Amino acid sequence: MDGTKNVAATKAKTTLDTVPAVGFEYAPAPESRAVVDIAPSYGLFIGGEFVEGGEGSTRFDSLNPATEEVLSSVTAAGVGDIERAVTAARTAYDTVWSKLSGSDRGKYLFRIARIMQERAREFAVLETLDNGKPIKESRDFDVPTAAAHFFYYAGWADKLEYAGLGSSPRPRGVVGQVIPWNFPLLMLSWKIAPALAAGNTVVLKPAETTPLTALLFAEVCRQADLPPGVVNIVTGDGETGRLLVEHPGVNKVAFTGSTEVGKAIARSVAGSGKGLTLELGGKAANIVYDDAPIDEAIEGIVNGIFFNQGHVCCAGSRLLVQESIADDVVARLQRRIGTLRLGDPMDKNTDVGAINSAAQLERITELTAAGEAEGATRWTAACDLPGRGYWFAPTIFTNVSQAHRIAQQEVFGPVLAVLTFRTPAEAVAKANNTPYGLSAGIWSDKGSRVLWTADRLRAGVVWANTFNKFDPASPFGGYKESGYGREGGRHGLVPYLMSGASA
Cite the active site residues.
279, 313
Least Å from the CB of residue 215 to other proteins: 27
Asked if 458 is part of the footprint of other proteins (rule: CB under 8 A), the reply reads no
191 alpha carbon, distance to own chain's centre? 12
Closer CB to other proteins, 16 or 403, in the complex: 16
Q: How far apart are CA 483 and CA 460, in angstroms?
A: 10
Among 51, 266, 294, 367, binds other proteins (CB under 8 A): 294
Asked if 503 is part of the footprint of other proteins (rule: CB under 8 A), the reply reads no
Asked if 367 is part of the footprint of other proteins (rule: CB under 8 A), the reply reads no
Closer CB to other proteins, 386 or 424, in the complex: 424
Q: How far apart are CA 61 and CA 192, in angstroms?
A: 25
Collapsing DSSP states into helix, strand and coil, what is residue 336? Answer: helix
Least Å from the CB of residue 494 to other proteins: 12
Q: How far apart are CA 23 and CA 17, in angstroms?
A: 12
Least Å from the CB of residue 25 to other proteins: 6
Whether 467 and 296 have beta carbons less than 8 Å apart is answered as: no
Asked if 56 is part of the footprint of other proteins (rule: CB under 8 A), the reply reads no
Number of residues that bind other proteins (CB under 8 A): 68
Least Å from the CB of residue 72 to other proteins: 28
Within residues 250-279, the interface with other proteins by CB under 8 A covers none
Among 266, 383, 465, 500, binds other proteins (CB under 8 A): 465
Phi, psi of 291 (to 5 degrees): -105, 25
Any idea what DSSP says for residue 357?
-
Asked if 382 is part of the footprint of other proteins (rule: CB under 8 A), the reply reads no
Closer CB to other proteins, 37 or 455, in the complex: 455
Closer CB to other proteins, 170 or 491, in the complex: 491
Q: How far apart are CA 152 and CA 471, in angstroms?
A: 9
Phi, psi of 70 (to 5 degrees): -80, 125
Length of the chain: 503
Q: How far apart are CA 404 and CA 374, in angstroms?
A: 7
17 alpha carbon, distance to own chain's centre? 45
Among 152, 190, 306, 479, binds other proteins (CB under 8 A): 152
Within residues 176-195, the interface with other proteins by CB under 8 A covers none
Helix boundaries (H) for 119-250: 120-131, 135-137, 143-154, 184-197, 212-223, 238-246
Least Å from the CB of residue 413 to other proteins: 22
Asked if 472 is part of the footprint of other proteins (rule: CB under 8 A), the reply reads yes
Closer CB to other proteins, 71 or 462, in the complex: 462
Please choose, out of 8-16, 79-87, 275-283, 315-323, the segment that lies near other proteins by the rule CB under 8 A. Answer: 8-16
Host H or E run for residue 454: helix 447-456
Closer CB to other proteins, 27 or 382, in the complex: 27
Please choose, out of 201-209, 395-403, 407-415, 467-475, the segment that lies near other proteins by the rule CB under 8 A. Answer: 467-475
Closer CB to other proteins, 129 or 442, in the complex: 442
A 10 A CB-CB count for 18 gives 7
Any idea what DSSP says for residue 14?
P
Q: How far apart are CA 181 and CA 391, in angstroms?
A: 16
Q: How far apart are CA 46 and CA 75, in angstroms?
A: 12
Q: How far apart are CA 198 and CA 163, in angstroms?
A: 10
Among 32, 248, 339, 503, binds other proteins (CB under 8 A): 339
Please choose, out of 15-23, 186-194, 211-219, 403-411, the segment that lies near other proteins by the rule CB under 8 A. Answer: 15-23
Whether 101 and 265 have beta carbons less than 8 Å apart is answered as: no
Whether 349 and 31 have beta carbons less than 8 Å apart is answered as: no
Q: At what angle do helices 79-95 and 238-246 cross, to 10 degrees?
A: 40
Least Å from the CB of residue 144 to other proteins: 10
Least Å from the CB of residue 332 to other proteins: 10
Please choose, out of 9-17, 248-256, 397-405, 412-420, the segment that lies near other proteins by the rule CB under 8 A. Answer: 9-17
Collapsing DSSP states into helix, strand and coil, what is residue 262? Answer: helix
Please choose, out of 76-84, 183-191, 382-390, 470-478, the segment that lies near other proteins by the rule CB under 8 A. Answer: 470-478
Contacts of 217 (CB under 8 A, 6+ apart): 116, 185, 188, 231, 233
Q: How far apart are CA 116 and CA 110, in angstroms?
A: 10
Closer CB to other proteins, 49 or 295, in the complex: 295
For residues 70 to 109, the per-residue mask of contacts with other proteins, x marking binding by CB under 8 A and - elsewhere, is ---------------------------------x--xx--
Within residues 307-336, the interface with other proteins by CB under 8 A covers none
Among 52, 118, 225, 291, binds other proteins (CB under 8 A): 291
- Bridge-based pairing state of the strands 275-279 and 252-256: parallel
HEC sequence for 147-161: HHHHHHHHCCCCCHH
Please choose, out of 88-96, 265-273, 291-299, 404-412, the segment that lies near other proteins by the rule CB under 8 A. Answer: 291-299
Contacts with other proteins by CB under 8 A lie at 1, 3-4, 6-8, 10-16, 18-19, 22-29, 103, 106-107, 110, 136, 140, 148, 151-152, 154-159, 162, 291-296, 299-300, 339, 348-349, 424-425, 445, 447-449, 451-455, 465-466, 471-473, 489-490
